[in-house]
Amino acid sequence: MSKVAVTPDIASLIGVDKANGAGLSKGDAVRGRLLPVREELATVLPWAGLRSGSTVALPAPGELGARALLLALLTEATTAGSWAAVTGVPGLGLLAAAELGVAVHRLALVPKPGGQTAAVAAALLDGFDLVVIAGECLPADQRRLSARARNRGAVLLPMGGWPGADVTLRCTGDRWTGVGYGEGRLRTRHLTVTSDGRRAAARPRTTTLTLPTQPAPLAPVRHLERVS
């Protein structure tokens, strides 16, 4: 086999990237499966999508903007037919998920995994394309789960610290418009997301998500009129 043929094959192996990211091409979407994400998020992810087998760390669910970022990340993939499971995030607002465009019927929730987060996540990685886990996880379990995701071709999305993650997304700004002082209503959220990570994702990148993308139009205001 010639030298030329070997290089792309190695680059196509899941979990193997070239240091400068130059080897990444459209072909990667075909070989390692690439799950689609929103346009803005594609600019901060090294493969312009969620590559199957990768681990993408999110902020802990209690942090500002973490849930909105999570739901925004799941929209395109679930509408394209992938199943997503969210473990250990009680009280996740599914109506907000639906409004952001998540296919809610393909979103499974395990709100209280008890002490068995790792066992539950391992079982979910067998059947789901996207597995979100939050909660305590031993470092050994973390390595094992990342390896399992790589092996099964799923995307692991841990919320909270995850040292071995391929990419780490953080919310660095969260502003709202629409609310005045006693008037208006919450309309648009501007969520600034920064990514960094290993290898191809080492250079920090920042984007701003506008949620919802197209705010619902204001209902016409009806004023009371004098009738007599």
Q: In the complex, which residues of this chain contact other proteins (CB under 8 A)?
A: 64-65, 67-68, 71, 81-83, 85, 90-100, 104-114, 116, 119-120, 123-129, 172-176, 178-187, 189, 192, 211-212, 215-216
| Partners of 211 in the β-ladder | 189
Residue with token string 């993308």:
213
Cα 212 to Cα 65: distance, rounded to the nearest angstrom? 13
DSSP state of 54: -
Shortest reach from residue 178's CB to other proteins, in Å:
8
Q: For other proteins, which is the closer residue by CB, 63 or 196? A: 63
- Positive or negative torsion for Cα 123, 124, 127, 131: negative
Contact between 142 and 157 under an 8 Å Cβ cutoff? The reply is no
Shortest reach from residue 106's CB to other proteins, in Å:
8
Q: For other proteins, which is the closer residue by CB, 22 or 104? A: 104
A 10 A CB-CB count for 106 gives 19
Q: For other proteins, which is the closer residue by CB, 107 or 145? A: 107
Q: For other proteins, which is the closer residue by CB, 30 or 186? A: 186
Shortest reach from residue 204's CB to other proteins, in Å:
16
**Identity of the amino acid at 38:** R
Shortest reach from residue 153's CB to other proteins, in Å:
11
Shortest reach from residue 159's CB to other proteins, in Å:
13
Q: For other proteins, which is the closer residue by CB, 11 or 85? A: 85
| Partners of 34 in the β-ladder | 51
A 10 A CB-CB count for 58 gives 26
